[in-house]
Amino acid sequence: MSKASQTPVMRQYLAAKAAHADALLLFRMGDFYELFFEDAVVAAKALDLTLTARNKGSDDEIPMAGVPHHAVSGYVQRLIEQGFNVAICEQMADPSKVKGLVPREVVRIATPGIAYDDAGIEARQNHYLAAVEREPSGPYGIAALDLSTGELVACEAADAASALSELVRLDPREVLFAPGAEALARPLQQVRPRVVARTTADAMTIDEADAVLDAQLGAGRALASCASTPARRAASRCVATARACEAGRPLPVARLSFYELGDTLVIDEATQSHLELVRAVDGGERGSLLHEIDATRTAPGARLMRRRLLAPRTGVAEVRRLHDGVELFVAHSRIRSELRQRLDEIGDVERLAVKLALDRALPRDLVALRRSLATLPAVVDALASCPEPDAREALGVEGGASWIDTCPDLYELLGRAVADDPPPRASDGGAVRDGFDAQLDEARELMRGGQRLIVDLEARLREASAIPSLKLRYTRVFGWYIEVTRAHLGKAPKEWRRKQTIATGERFSCDELDALADKLAHAEERAAAREAELFAGLVRDLAVHAERLRAVAARLAAWDVAAALAEVAHREDWTRPEIDDSYELVLEDARHPVVERLASGGRFVPNDVSLGATEGRPRLWLVTGPNMAGKSTLMRQTAIAVILAQMGSFVPARRARVGVVDRVLTRVGASDNLSRGESTFMVEMKETANVLRLARRRSLVVLDEIGRGTSTYDGLAIAWAVAEHLHDTIACRAMFATHYHELTELASTRAPTCENWSVSAREHDGDVVFLHKLQRGAASRSYGVACARLAGVPEPVLARARALLGELERGEALPSGAYASLRSRAVRPQLDLFDASGPTPQPDPHPALETLRAVDVDRVTPLEALQLLASLKKMALGS
Ligand code: ADP
Ligand code: MG
């Protein structure tokens, strides 16, 4: 580097940059944050800024780009979203008060996982930084830290597949993969393209990890809260990263919550997207199950709802207790609506508590907190009015504990200290209430009095000098001065000192004015300094209680969720499911919550499902029926009912019994799975392989049209073998929708544990009418041709199709000469599936004759009749 760039400030810059080489460094210079060198080039491109240069024109140009300081939040946000880390280097003193070089320090680092401010986080979702560590060829440790809520969680996953599905569930913004775990990055990014994956160079030793955690949580707390070594290492990685980002500020992380994957119902990514749990097919929230059930009124409630939906519980007692809470609010609708009304007035106390702890709270945050706390007594009143003796237990209040800590001390403090309608920033002045602090009051009095003193002095000077137009004025540059217009200049007393000449007159000062100006200047400064000090102290005092506030937030969130689920249950007429340890899954009059809502005029047809993974009970249902009959809907609503039940919700059915499920596995055949943009048979088979590998007896497996992505015989053979394996070996509760009618034979050899069901349709005047009603037995026929008619395929083509269908069903030759019947019979003995007696061969009718027979003359238009005639003739000549 040449000497011109080695000015003191550039040396300062280079030192800061060297310490944060992996981040873009925003270097505060006056009203701008500047970027230099390569950073400037990168940021100019990423943010569409003008790239300029320092020392322009010299042989020592340094590329430079800048963003105005007041708009920095938006720029940082955009950089983070593009996967960059951003280091913020601030001026640590007021440049106007420092001689020489202004001290500067990196005070924050923002990353995709550690947001810069509220603009970068979604209110109704957690914002996780995750880390994955791995024991050498051993289990994976996964941890996730939401620095906006202070939540730190960790778990251990036995293998890559479960580690991946847990990462997908957590849906972090950024994941740090330690050596040995990097292989998960690619597959994660395939299903969560938004996630930023980073690999860390070194693995942390467990001693280092525990030291970091103990420093954060308290001595010995690391081991006490989590026995898993890789999980502790991952948690420690999150904490260490957040520490570095916060430049040593104490983190608002008070505990490490370890959870067992086995305590939650595992929902993998394919299932999540197939069931449209949090996102609909089009990627939006509308049409998703979450959108349907999320009637929460607060942001922490919404976050909890989402977490519950993606990680339903497997403990019978725990789930029942959640149902108790919902039931209470269903039964007491007045209390429910009272509570929900109150919740509307409550802010995001969880994130407010964290802002206090990170010293990031603004005056209006304190107002929001005050308003929230003000509402708590009314919340308690509403709940306490509940006549049920077990109400407290149902709502998660242990023993004789009070409903909630209403924090009267904090409320009182906030009431005394914070103005009613404070400005956005404490430095704007006026955030602290009058009467809170004597010193501040005095300084403010002087400021206010100052105005009066100025007016008084102005009057006196005017009188003494006999200049009627005399005015006392103020500018930032010149301070206070006396303004005299040209006409009256002669009257200016000699002792006045000339300050400046302007076009219209002169500006003067005098001793009296200087003295007053000095007093005023200091009053304002003193008031500002005192207010800043008081506000910071207030935030510190409140921050001490951050944990109390978070406990309040957690309780409110749980009530918010229970009341929201009750609201939905009441509105949609859902029922409380029975939960037990059995292997039963019985639903009566079950509906699909989203499809039902979209089906206009309550035309949704409810259906029953009865599965049981025990001897003598049907555990495998083969579901057949024409396209559009409702097979997929039926199977999805069954899986959804299980998920809803175990997340603690009521379910859309008249009656429901759910023996706890440990895993819901759903797969859709490649050709049906358009939404995911996957059409390759390979993907379908990989997913199927996963299902077969992961499913246990307690799982619920839902396979929709598996085997469709390949040729008929291939597909049938695979579908058959998969169904057999599910039934014979895994023996779990399963539903299998298929268009392979041959497969329905399976039920006859495996009764009563395998059953055929079909979703009915009726053909009426050549049209299909979908009844959507489930009935016992296999579907009698495919309604493909009728469907094609419905879709507007012209009659000559339909006629020909009917003719071909007839031939195929009789096992006759295809017009091409290939013998479908022979091929199909060649496969059959191999599969050992079908009864040997095929249909008896018939003499070949002429195709033209067949087509003629199949024509529905009433439906042929004159033009089609002509076309038909032409093709009949061609057939006649062709043979
Ligand atoms: P399949 O899988 O048999 O082709 P789908 O389950 O995709 O059929 O259902 C097709 C459409 O039929 C759905 O989008 C929905 O509009 C309607 N539908 C499905 N089940 C029902 C039902 N039980 N009652 C009313 N309409 C239904
Ligand atoms: Mg379907």
pLDDT tens for each residue of 844-853: 678 788 888 8
Confidence of residue 517 (pLDDT cuts 50, 70, 90): confident
pLDDT tens-digit readout, 18-52: 999 999 999 999 999 999 999 999 999 999 999 99
Q: Quick one: pLDDT at residue 660?
A: 98
What pLDDT is stored for residue 677 in this prediction?
52
Rounded to the nearest angstrom, the distance between the alpha carbon of 643 and the centre of ligand 2 is 20
Give the DSSP letter of residue 500: E
How many helical (H) and strand (E) elements, i.e. helices and strands, does the chain have?
30, 27
Helical axes 37-47 vs 72-81, angle rounded to 10°: 90
Asked whether the predicted pLDDT for residue 833 surpasses 50, the reply is: no
Give 567's contacts (C-beta < 8 A, 6+ positions apart): 295, 329, 336, 340
Q: Tell which wins on pLDDT, 791 or 542.
A: 542
d(CA 807, CA 847) in angstroms, rounded, equals: 9
pLDDT tens digits for 83-102?
999 999 999 998 888 888 99
Give 263 Cα–ligand 2 centroid separation in angstroms.
32
Tell me, in angstroms, the distance from the centre of ligand 1 to residue 293's CA. 21
Q: Which of 274, 276, 598, 633 to mutate to test the pocket of ligand 1 (most atoms within 8 A of CB)?
A: 633
Ligand nearest the Cα of residue 757 is: 1
Judging by beta carbons within 10 Å of its beta carbon (0-12, 13-18, 19+), is residue 661 exposed, middle or buried?
Answer: buried
Q: Whose CA is nearest to atom 20 of ligand 1?
A: 630
Question: 772 — alpha (psi -120 to 50), left (phi > 0) or beta?
Answer: left
Q: Ligand 1 pocket test: which of 621, 628, 667, 759 has the largest number of ligand atoms within 8 Å of its C-beta?
A: 628
Which ligand is located closest to the Cα atom of residue 595? 1
Distance from C-alpha of 196 to C-alpha of 111, rounded to nearest angstrom: 10
pLDDT the model gives residue 682: 75
pLDDT: is 645 or 250 the higher one? Answer: 645
Give yes or no for a contact between 666 and 339, defined as CB atoms under 8 angstroms apart.
no
* C-alpha 409, offset from chain centre: 35
Interval between CA 597 and ligand 1 midpoint (Å): 13
CB 691 within 8 A of CB 729: no
Round to whole Å and give the CA distance between 857 and 770: 25
Of 606-620, 697-711, 786-800, 826-840, which range is least confident?
A: 826-840
> Atom 25 in ligand 1: which residue has the minimum CA distance?
604
Q: What is the pLDDT of residues 628-644, one digit of tens each?
A: 889 999 999 999 999 99
Nearest 5°: CA angle at 259, between 258 and 260?
130
Of all atoms in ligand 1, which is nearest to the CA of residue 592? 23
State whether residue 255 is helix, strand or coil.
coil
Atom of ligand 1 nearest to the CA of 633: 6
Ligand 1: nearest atom to the Cα of 607: 23
* pLDDT score of 4: 52
> Residue 513's CB: how many other CB atoms inside 10 A?
21
Least Cα distance to 450 among 515, 353, 367 occurs for: 515
Question: What pLDDT does 778 receive?
Answer: 83
Ligand 1 centroid, distance to 339 Cα (angstroms)? 37
Q: How far, in Å, from the CA of 621 to the mean position of ligand 2?
A: 15
Q: Whose CA is nearest to atom 4 of ligand 1?
A: 628
- CA 690 to ligand 1 center in whole angstroms: 27
Give the residue, 23 or 446, on which the prediction is more confident. Answer: 23
Indicate the residue type of 867: Q
Range in 306-310, 392-396, 691-695, 808-812 the model is least confident about:
808-812
pTM summary value: 0.83
Give the dihedral sign, CA 430/434/438/442.
positive
For residue 630, report the distance from its CA to the centre of ligand 2, in Å: 7
Angle at 507 between CA 506 and CA 508, to 5 degrees: 120
The overall average pLDDT reported for the chain is: 88
Mean pLDDT within 601-627: 91
**CB-based pocket (< 6 A), ligand 1:** 595, 599, 603-605, 625, 627-633, 759, 772
The pLDDT tens digits of the residues spanning 715-769 come to 888 888 999 999 999 999 999 998 788 888 888 889 899 999 998 777 777 677 7
Tell me the best of 281, 588, 589, 595 to mutate to test the pocket of ligand 1, counting ligand atoms within 8 Å of each CB and taking the most: 595
Q: Using pLDDT thresholds of 50, 70 and 90, give the confidence band for residue 822.
A: very low
Please tell me which residue, 558 or 268, carries the higher pLDDT value.
558
- State which H helix or E strand residue 507 sits in: strand 505-509
Query: Counting atoms of ligand 1 from 1, which one is nearest the CA of 591?
Result: 23
Question: CA-CA distance, 593 to 637, in Å (whole number)?
Answer: 7
pLDDT band at 602 (very low <50, low <70, confident <90, very high): low
| Cα Rg of the chain, angstroms | 37
For atom 5 of ligand 1, which residue has the closest CA? 630
Residue listed under structure tokens 């009521």? 650
pLDDT tops 60 at residue 109: yes
H-run or E-run covering 63: strand 62-68
Crossing angle (nearest 10°) for helices 333-344 and 316-331 = 90
- pLDDT above 70 covers a percentage of the chain that reads 92
Counting ligands in written order, which one lies closest to the CA of residue 668? 2
Tokens 């409810």 label which residue?
606
Q: Which residues touch 214 (CB under 8 Å, ≥6 apart)?
A: 220, 221, 222
